[in-house]
């Protein structure tokens, strides 16, 4: 976590203190000019389908109004990184153990336009038919 400068976060239900600390740490990183990458679904999927984006992104932007760049990871589902049932080394891979992964990057959104719904729509468009 430390090497990657990852900021741990939890839901308010799981750990309210950790969630609030994450918001403070994210605001500090943005204030210092760092890029912050978020996965606004709040959980890993077990199907490869995208879950609904959570409202935490709005809390972050309200504290630190910065442009948001939507991005979509493509090719994760069916790879060794798939979060499905069972041991990842014991299942067959639809795309082989070394799947081709790609990152699609969209145009920045102004802070006032970066709602969870708008971001999810853009990320889905960037992802296309990929999982």
Question: Is residue 21 in a domain?
Answer: no
Residues 84-107: tens digit of each pLDDT: 555 555 555 555 556 678 899 999
Predicted structure pTM score: 0.77
Number of domains in the chain: 1
Question: Is residue 17 in a domain?
Answer: no
3-state secondary structure the chain: CCCCCCCCCCCHHHHHHHHHHHHHHHHHHHHCCCCCCCCCCCCCCCCCCCCCCCCHHHHHHHHCCCCECCEEEECCCCCCCCCCCCCCCCCCCCCCCCCCCEEEECCCECHHHCCHHHHHHHHHHHHCCCC
Q: Which pLDDT value is given to residue 40? A: 87
| Cβ atoms 78, 131 nearer than 8 A | yes
* Domain boundaries, position 44: 37-127
Q: Which residue has the higher pLDDT, 52 or 46?
A: 52
Question: Is residue 116 in a domain?
Answer: yes
Question: Is residue 15 in a domain?
Answer: no
């Amino acid at each position: 976590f430390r090497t990657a400068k990852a900021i741990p976060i939890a839901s308010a239900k799981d750990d309210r203190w950790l969630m609030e600390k994450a918001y403070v740490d994210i605001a500090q990183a943005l204030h210092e000019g760092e890029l912050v990458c978020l996965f606004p679904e709040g959980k890993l999927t077990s199907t490869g389908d995208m879950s609904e984006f959570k409202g935490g992104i709005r809390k972050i932007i309200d504290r630190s109004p910065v442009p948001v760049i939507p991005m979509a990871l493509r090719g994760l589902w069916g790879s060794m990184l798939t979060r499905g049932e069972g041991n990842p080394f014991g299942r067959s891979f639809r795309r082989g153990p070394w799947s081709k992964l790609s990152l699609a990057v969209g145009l920045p959104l102004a802070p006032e336009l970066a709602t969870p719904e708008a971001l999810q729509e853009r990320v889905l468009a960037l992802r296309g038919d990929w999982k």
